[in-house]
Amino acid sequence: MKNLILLFTVILCASLNAQVDTITILHINDTHSTLAPLAPRDMNLKGTRGGIARAASVIGMTQVTEPNVVTLHGGDFFIGDLFFNKFFGVAELEFLKALNFDAIALGNHEFDLGPEALYGCFEAAFATNAIPVLSANAILDGFSPLQPYIKKTHIIQKGNSKIGLIGLTTPSTNLFSLPAPVVIDTIDGYLEAALTELFTQQCNVIILMSHLGIMYDRAIAESVPGINVIISAHDHYKTIQPEIITNPAGKPVYIVQTSANYTEVGKLTLAATSTDVSVISYLPIELDNTIPEEPTTKDMVDTLITQIEALYGPVYTQQIGYAAGTFWEVARPSVSADSFDTPLGNLVTDAFRWKTGTQVALTVGGSTAQPIYEGPIVPADAFRAIGYGFDTIKALGYRIIKCGISGADLIMGLEFGLQAIEYDDELLPQVSGMNYSFDINGAGPGRVTGVTIGGQPLDPAAVYTATLNEFLAYALQNMVGVTLINPYMFEDSTEFEVLMAYIIAHQMITPGGVGRITSVKDDFGEADRITGFNLEQNYPNPFNPSTTINYFLPKAGFVSLRIYDLSGALVTTLVDSYQEEGSYSVVFDVSSRNLASGTYFYRLESGGKSLTKKLLLVK
């Protein structure tokens, strides 16, 4: 790291060109082939917001009216819409080529059908005029056909500025997608090597296109010098204004991300000299009905819809039901939140049980994709709600499975899903036919505090009938070690078809009251938190290589402060001694420890009380 700071400083000092370039960055992310407009729908069933034709209007107008425009995609153009299931990503890449995109970050969903499908997409779309796809930590040696298309860095010239681009892809791709034999490595070393290359090429603007998630982006900004802007992606997180973080060289790093599925275009305007990059303005442009659809792009989208409907029927042009309200799909993790189930999660799992008649049904937050908006519903809306999946028989998404599961294994599955609830809801179990509560301050296994099925307490020894999709079934069996008893796959029923049939049968669907999933508070009152026994969130978090943990003891006593991994295994003991009343600060340094990146817990115990929080190590 010291060598990187030195190189960065030498290059800045060596350059004397002080001319200012105004650079406009237009950025999108996590579009998932959602090319047609989204609901709410008008009386003619036309979507009133979003879609690539509205994005084309904004991008095209900016490109002809402003100098030095850079267009960037943060990754995840695969999976999530019937446009993908028909055209396998090629249609979206053709649109991006027509809009003169400069680069695309490699997303995790790009591997959901394996590297062969991604190669086929690139070969079809990039036969001419390929857009650089970037990932510095993608190891392609095991599948060399992708090497001509995926690069670590890319340099573009705008005015007097040489702009260096770097891509990063989340290593969780290895667990939740199908990249093998491609490997998405940790970022260790790869980012620094890419930066060194761009500094050597005299780039004066460095943009990291990160498909890691914004928490990891914050940690990178704080710990790695030389990056000016991070185009964030992966967690569908909207920044109203750039997040500004000071790097180790004392320079600001600007982090931006837009909402997903072509609902926004981010517009970041920079002033760049040879030695400095600053933000002039930032505007997240909402693609609502005040923005017209670019006519040529709209006509092309409509033509593709005709082809989709020739395969799947009137999925965009026939109403199947009506939503009395919006079925939101994201549970926002918060220590103060009381309920963690979502209207969409409840709807999907209710549909599962309606189909199979099982006692319970489960999905996870990461399997629900987009809300179902108030108003008329067409089949494409139902598909978009649960569009992350692909079966080889109908090409319509994950199929559903009916099985038996013991109460003990059900709890094990819930514990696995709750392991990172503070950070996102990707693994958070959404349920029907059951309620559960958990301790959001708990550490490792043991967070679940209560489960009822059919109004009765769960019996760990009993076997319950359950419905889930094939992705979750695979994860429970192969990643958690749960035994599914006599699983039966409905070969003719994808979760999309089940949800669509449920909507048709009910016609009017209403978002019900939430409360199936609740968090319990610990037994410390607010006054006790402020003036008594207290454990603060570590800072910085995420961190590398060290972080500080502060706590307060209201009275003297024996104190322990320990670090645990996700399995509950002890990593180290930071404090194990008698301490007087007062405030304390302890540094947890991993410089000499061989610890992997990931989530860890720290637990403070004293006087018969304990408090637990999470910390995140990013290497």
Residue 16 pLDDT greater than 60, yes or no? no
Query: Architecture of domain 319-520 in CATH?
Result: Alpha-Beta Complex (3.90)
Residue 109 has φ and ψ, to the nearest 5°, of -70, -15
- Residue 358 DSSP label: -
**pLDDT tens per residue, range 454-472:** 999 999 999 999 999 999 9
Residue 151 pLDDT greater than 80, yes or no? yes
**pLDDT tens per residue, range 62-84:** 999 999 999 999 999 999 999 99
**pLDDT tens per residue, range 282-308:** 999 999 999 999 999 999 999 999 999
**pLDDT tens per residue, range 497-554:** 999 999 999 999 999 767 899 987 544 333 343 346 888 888 887 788 889 998 989 8
> Domain locations in the chain?
21-286, 319-520, 526-617
Residue 15 pLDDT greater than 50, yes or no? no
How far is Cα 306 from Cα 37, in angstroms, rounded to an integer? 15
Residue 270 has φ and ψ, to the nearest 5°, of -115, 150
What class is the 526-617 domain? mainly beta
How far is Cα 611 from Cα 619, in angstroms, rounded to an integer? 26
How far is Cα 414 from Cα 595, in angstroms, rounded to an integer? 26
Share of the chain above pLDDT 70, in %: 92
Q: What is the mean pLDDT of residues 48-74?
A: 97
Express the helix, strand and coil content of the chain in percent, nearest 5 each. Answer: 25, 35, 40
- Amino acid in the structure at residue 135: S
| Distances in whole angstroms, Cα of residue 14 to Cα of each of 17, 155, 312 | 9, 20, 61
Tokens of 127: 């036969």
Q: What is the mean pLDDT of residues 36-56?
A: 96
Query: CB–CB of 439/452 below 8 Å?
Result: no
**pLDDT tens per residue, range 79-138:** 999 999 999 999 999 999 999 999 999 999 999 999 999 999 999 999 989 999 999 999
Residue 434 pLDDT greater than 60, yes or no? yes
Cβ-proximal residues to 618 (8 Å cutoff; 6+ apart), any chain: 187, 216, 219, 220, 223, 542, 543, 544, 597
Predicted local confidence at residue 443, as pLDDT: 61
Q: Which of 10-19, 396-405, 481-490 has the lowest mean pLDDT?
A: 10-19
Helix axes 52-65, 90-98, angle to 10 degrees: 20
**pLDDT tens per residue, range 386-402:** 988 887 778 788 999 99
Predicted TM-score (pTM) of the model is 0.82
Q: In what order do the strands lie in the sheet with 448-453?
A: 456-457, 448-453, 434-439, 517-520
Residues counted in the chain: 619
End-to-end CA distance of the chain: give it in Å, rounded. 12
Q: What is the mean pLDDT of residues 176-186?
A: 93
**Which position has the higher pLDDT, 28 or 536?**
28
3-state secondary structure of 67: coil
Homologous superfamily of the 21-286 domain (CATH): Metallo-dependent phosphatases (3.60.21.10)
